[in-house]
Structure 1
Amino acid sequence: MTPAELLVDGFTRIQEGVHAAVDGLTADQLAHQPAERANSVGWLIWHLTRVQDDHVADAAGFDQVWTSGGFEQDFGLPFEASETGYGATPQEVAQVRGLSAEQLTGYLDAVHAQTVRWVKGLAPEDLDRVVDERWDPPVTLGVRLVSVVNDDQQHVGQAAYVRGLLL
């Protein structure tokens, strides 16, 4: 298995987990925060998709699917186009509402397709390219992609847990 194939597998598991987490949930269930400071399934899925879209597009030099694919307008959220949800307050989490499972998976599927198309073409040496010099040590492409997979998988698990509380 090549590094690119390993990454594609990781991103595909995220996609599968997202579909399982939202399948059959209503807009109200997707927006439900089980506690005052807890995240909803809808916010978790929106956020993990925004992070993947933002980070991969930046590393690849692509436009984000969020804006180029019309998802920003379709979702109608009261945030700036650049918002990914990082550091969101409970009040901001509560603003991610009125979304359907189909909207969330449609956005994730479009981001996943762009991610996988690009990742499949990566050579092992591409993963050593520095993509962010704001850190010490600077962040390589490989580290950034593994970080996205890790963060997204954690949020998929959180969404699955909240789903379990709802059903």
Structure 2
Amino acid sequence: MTSADVLTDAFERIREVVHEAVDGLGEDELAHRIDKGANSIAWLIWHLTRVQDDHVSEVADVEQVWTARRWYDRFGLSIDARATGYGDRSVDVAVIRAPAELLVGYYDAVHEQTLRFVRKLGDSDLERIVDIRWDPPVTLGVRLVSVISDDLQHAGQAAFVRGVIERTT
């Protein structure tokens, strides 16, 4: 098994959890917040997808799916096209509403772009420095593991919120 295979497997696992968290829910359920300060499933999935799109497109040197394939326009949100959800406040979370098909459509498009990139990587590629703002500088391998970690945490949170919704309705 190569490093590319391991990365591909990890990103495939994220996809499974994303689909399980979203599939079959209506827009109101996706926007449901278990308390006024909590994140909704819609926000969690949108955010993890935006972060993956942002971070992977940067290291792959390609335009983000969000803008290149007009997902920003399809969502029709009153937010900046560069927004990823990082640092969002409760009021910002409430703005993110979308049907399941839109959320998983965008996620799947980002997922495919991510896999096209990681499947081409060799072990030596993972040593490439991609961010010198940190000490030590961030390598491609560390950046991709960071994205995987963040995505799995948010996908798990979305699955948890789904469980709460299913038990209370």
TM range (shorter): over 0.9
The residue type paired with residue 72 of structure 2 is E
Q: How does 1:25-104 map to 2 (within 5 A)?
A: 25-97=25-97, 99-104=98-103
Q: Which residue number in structure 1 is paired with residue 19 of structure 2? A: 19
Q: Normalising by structure 2, report the TM-score.
A: 0.97
Q: Alignment identity in percent?
A: 59
Q: Which residue number in structure 2 is paired with residue 163 of structure 1? A: 162
Q: CA deviation at 1:27?
A: 0.3
Q: Which residue number in structure 1 is paired with residue 6 of structure 2? A: 6
Q: CA deviation at 1:164?
A: 0.5
Measure, in 1, the Cα distance between the counterparts of 2:30 and 2:91.
Answer: 15
Q: CA deviation at 1:29?
A: 0.5
Q: CA deviation at 1:77?
A: 1.1
Runs (5+) with no aligned partner, structure 2: none
Measure, in 1, the Cα distance between the counterparts of 2:93 and 2:48.
Answer: 13
Q: Which residue number in structure 1 is paired with residue 126 of structure 2? A: 127
Q: CA deviation at 1:74?
A: 0.3
Measure, in 2, the Cα distance between the counterparts of 1:76 and 1:133.
Answer: 35
Q: CA deviation at 1:9?
A: 0.4
Runs (5+) with no aligned partner, structure 1: none
1:111 aligns with 2:105: no
Measure, in 2, the Cα distance between the counterparts of 1:18 and 1:12.
Answer: 10
The DSSP-based 3-state class of the residue aligned with 1:87 is: coil
Measure, in 1, the Cα distance between the counterparts of 2:22 and 2:92.
Answer: 20
Measure, in 2, the Cα distance between the counterparts of 1:82 and 1:13.
Answer: 26
Q: How does 1:147-158 map to 2 (within 5 A)?
A: 147-158=146-157
The DSSP-based 3-state class of the residue aligned with 2:130 is: strand
Measure, in 1, the Cα distance between the counterparts of 2:87 and 2:108.
Answer: 24
Q: CA deviation at 1:56?
A: 0.1
Measure, in 2, the Cα distance between the counterparts of 1:139 and 1:130.
Answer: 6
The residue type paired with residue 52 of structure 1 is Q
Q: CA deviation at 1:36?
A: 1.2
Measure, in 1, the Cα distance between the counterparts of 2:32 and 2:132.
Answer: 38
Measure, in 1, the Cα distance between the counterparts of 2:17 and 2:60.
Answer: 24
Aligned residues: 166
Q: CA deviation at 1:10?
A: 0.4
Q: Normalising by structure 1, report the TM-score.
A: 0.98
The residue type paired with residue 133 of structure 2 is R
